[in-house]
Structure 1
């Protein structure tokens, strides 16, 4: 069972210690035992560093059987907006199967890379976390502050991975029957043969997440503090990350009080970004709001597998040059002119792509009255390139975004991946308080974020639960745009996809195919990812009847 993760511990240790001169003096890199990897807190810290890298590395560089077409969270994070229709493709570009995901093809195939790589990467994380957690339980290493930090990170990683798996491969907690709906297998082994339990229920998986994250917080309370000052520091998990993950878990369970309180704890050391920071490109974990993120090593060969390749309109790749990513026109129409976030979406960018999916590319098809001559049309295309740094080969398109921008625009540099921000925590707190009917508390949670982003913000307009929830949905869609939350948000809120409704999103029905319209998750099993067929075939505790 889980044959793809048999060598996980050894491979992670190799990947993270191969550059450590003192380790190489005593052990060849193909002979590191699990005993050595778990012999001390220092060695276990190297395993954690391997997990930090595993979050974003091309898996074939670290894991037996890994495929180069996915680079972990470079793919999985933006998938949440790509799949749910928040980030809209303006033209055909199926590199890495990214368009197949928008068309609702890949996640509904048990043999697709999307399902297989997500499943095995998350279970790799679990197996490696298990090794540390199980070693801690045997009592052979003293639980000093450093060791508690390592155990806290391991428990947080395991909760994170189980939450990701149950959110994708099972029905949503609030829209089904969690006590009986099938979840995913629990895995507690840290060595071959990695025998798991059969599929546990959704509730059992969430209960495991709750148990793990509470254990993590308990260990972190007596742990060494996370260092600060370097972009790599926020790759390490700490008590703030654990509280943020606890808030996410509770929000998806409808445990509103827990969600609100945990979110408030998570955000307290991370001030809301100002306009300058918000406009800086979302490319660094050093931004003050970032609670957790992957600091992508500059020598890591993600490049055309990176988050910025899939999402960023300044990246010099065909996915971006030919297919600028745009905002839903209906969302843009809701943004007040006094909200500076509006400036990161270029409503009036000329449509320079003659292959645009809407058939309106090129000067001959221009309908924007701002451009009365072809010279004005072309001049604006050139001006935008000079402002944002993309190349002359990049196409432009109305409603294209410039939220995610590289530190070095027009290159193939991958840049960091932001995984958790304090703004998300304000929004979790607000949603949870609104669901509890605590109007003033929800308003108070929204006020700091709203007033920073919008100079005319007036939270008192939202004075009922219904008004608050509609406004919170708008704020999450705008504030967290492109950061991967829309898929799980729609499941929690039981909302479908309809690109044609209310004037249309700007997506092409011909391009989006099945992804153009999907019924709400509570009545539509297509939202649930297929379990990889390889897992069904290899796992003695799973059979054809366990397939979603």
Structure 2
């Protein structure tokens, strides 16, 4: 942390102030930017926040000394949660950006991996700049205004967000370990400092405290600006409540999780069918509570979220390796549920290099296609309908949930971090776990009934049946949005691509990640602390390694 963060503590500040967008035009030479200038007033502090916002989706070398073009913030971290746990399934061999290594568990289990290092330093970079803002506000030299309170709320929310991300990746899960003694991550509350690993409980306590401070500040702060999708990059009270709901759910505080989830979704209505099928590519969707609006001047090209998992993106990661869903889940979706439509169960397997060995007409096993002409016509119809490029392959159970605004291009799109449906699912799970079955069914009915005309939560009369359905609804509703990793840790579930007829993944391609023991008995779920951090931080030694 000392080498990567402290030496360029104003990386994001400079980044924000040197953007070519009008809102961030450089006002002073970059080599003269100091904390006193960068935090001199509300406008300057907002520039620092805008830099943090953009750091969520920019290439890491623009934010971190020693960063790498192969990681572009949450473009990678968000889908990683489903890539690791078999939600997003690779249909062929492709390792661009280390996405195959990540899927095979040959990435986060290695202390020298790029993923471990950049996720760690990215989150601590957020904490650093949040701490700079918090320190300046707490000095008391600025006049307190509604705008300043909102800036304060965003800073505390960002620190809580980063700490939650860190402790959920680099420590044992709260509900499956011993949080009072399990090693957490360093809790850094002062700029340009470092420290030892706190316990998981200490980290969680700090997160809860930060979110309470943030919510209080937002309550008396200026509202989030109105306007286009760019406004939802600004954190507000809904985001703070949403993070509190996630935090509480992960620690088994069921009442807080349910209450916070209800508060988080206020003002954000559930999407209709047309919106749900529109591609999940913009913060303009009515459900989106928080997301990154990816601006064209900060394009990530072949490093975006959509490059890694969207089947219309014109990159080799998807042209040769269409991403598919677990067929056990998709087959279980009722035909009355419109979410099933975005998974193309009968898409022909047109890739001769498909991992299952069934690619190309010569290996076709689908009785729908009795001739090669029918096979090719079905492939071409899918590519035409969804705007894929000529080189794109198709595959059974491929998804079209995430679709580019400009399909068949390399244009990145917005990254959605939080939306209303997740909050209904948190409420339902929390109430079910608290044995408030009527309350859980009511929350689940609101969401399930909006997606499936025949859905009836009343059919799930026991706590176990209700929890099984809530888990199923999360896997369907939030597919591809990155929640698989934290869900499996919370539920203490392993990975088994072979069970119950198989997921559709190839054992040869998935290797050791084809079957993975549950987190409570397998510490490989815990990310390794970067070796660079052990080398640089005198408070963390090799004995602290996970």
The TM-score range, normalised by the shorter chain, is over 0.9
Q: What's the RMSD between the two structures over aligned residues? A: 1.2
Question: Which one of 296, 306, 319 corresponds to residue 294 of structure 2?
Answer: 296
- Say if 2:312 and 2:404, in contact at 8 Å, map to a contact too: yes
1:140 Cα deviation (Å)? 0.5
- Say if 1:7 and 1:63, in contact at 8 Å, map to a contact too: no
State the SS of the aligned residue for 1:270. Answer: coil
Partner of residue 97, structure 1: 98
Distance 2:122 2:388 in 1: 33
1:228 Cα deviation (Å)? 2.0
1:195 Cα deviation (Å)? 2.8
1:223 Cα deviation (Å)? 0.5
Partner of residue 131, structure 2: 130
Distance 1:10 1:195 in 2: 14
Partner of residue 113, structure 1: 114
Partner of residue 141, structure 2: 140
Judge which range, 78-87 or 25-34, deviates more: 25-34
Distance 1:228 1:277 in 2: 20
Q: How do 1:281-320 residues align onto structure 2 when only pairs under 5 Å count?
A: 281-320=279-318
Distance 2:404 2:21 in 1: 31
- Determine whether 1:82 maps to 2:80: no
Partner of residue 395, structure 1: 393
Question: Which one of 352, 355, 365 corresponds to residue 353 of structure 2?
Answer: 355
- Determine whether 1:5 maps to 2:2: no
State the SS of the aligned residue for 2:499. Answer: coil
Partner of residue 223, structure 1: 221
1:25 Cα deviation (Å)? 7.8
Question: Deviations for 1:52-110, whole angstroms, at most 9, x for unmatched residues?
Answer: 00000001123322111100000000000000111100000000100001111100001
Unpaired runs of 5+ residues, structure 1, are none
Unpaired runs of 5+ residues, structure 2, are none
Distance 1:329 1:27 in 2: 56
Distance 2:395 2:319 in 1: 11
Distance 2:101 2:298 in 1: 26
- Say if 2:320 and 2:392, in contact at 8 Å, map to a contact too: yes
Q: How do 1:120-269 residues align onto structure 2 when only pairs under 5 Å count?
A: 120-190=121-191, 194-269=192-267
Change (3 A) 1:269 1:379: same
Change (3 A) 1:21 1:340: closer
- Say if 1:8 and 1:124, in contact at 8 Å, map to a contact too: no
Partner of residue 45, structure 1: 46
Distance 2:170 2:159 in 1: 16
Distance 1:461 1:12 in 2: 51
Question: Deviations for 1:153-183, whole angstroms, at most 9, x for unmatched residues?
Answer: 0000000000000000000000000000000
Partner of residue 14, structure 2: 14
State the SS of the aligned residue for 2:93. Answer: coil
Question: Deviations for 1:24-75, whole angstroms, at most 9, x for unmatched residues?
Answer: 7862122101111111111000000000000000011233221111000000
State the SS of the aligned residue for 1:277. Answer: helix
Partner of residue 331, structure 1: 329
State the SS of the aligned residue for 2:290. Answer: strand
1:2 Cα deviation (Å)? 2.7
Report the TM-score, using the length of structure 2 for normalisation: 0.98
State the SS of the aligned residue for 1:283. Answer: coil
1:478 Cα deviation (Å)? 0.4
Distance 1:230 1:539 in 2: 42
- Say if 2:17 and 2:26, in contact at 8 Å, map to a contact too: no
Distance 2:40 2:28 in 1: 14
Change (3 A) 1:109 1:375: same
- Say if 1:9 and 1:34, in contact at 8 Å, map to a contact too: no
Partner of residue 64, structure 2: 63
Distance 2:406 2:250 in 1: 37
Change (3 A) 1:147 1:116: same
Distance 1:378 1:338 in 2: 29
Partner of residue 535, structure 2: 537
- Say if 1:179 and 1:203, in contact at 8 Å, map to a contact too: yes
- Say if 1:90 and 1:358, in contact at 8 Å, map to a contact too: yes
Partner of residue 421, structure 1: 419
Judge which range, 363-372 or 62-71, deviates more: 62-71
- Determine whether 1:321 maps to 2:322: no
Distance 2:467 2:172 in 1: 22
- Say if 2:12 and 2:52, in contact at 8 Å, map to a contact too: yes
Partner of residue 518, structure 1: 516
Distance 2:65 2:121 in 1: 11
Partner of residue 491, structure 1: 489
- Say if 1:497 and 1:518, in contact at 8 Å, map to a contact too: yes
Question: Deviations for 1:366-423, whole angstroms, at most 9, x for unmatched residues?
Answer: 1111111100000001100110000121000000000000000000000000000000
- Determine whether 1:408 maps to 2:406: yes
1:8 Cα deviation (Å)? 4.4
1:301 Cα deviation (Å)? 2.9
State the SS of the aligned residue for 2:289. Answer: strand
Change (3 A) 1:78 1:152: same
Q: How do 1:473-488 residues align onto structure 2 when only pairs under 5 Å count?
A: 473-488=471-486
Change (3 A) 1:478 1:539: same
1:502 Cα deviation (Å)? 0.7
Judge which range, 295-304 or 113-122, deviates more: 295-304
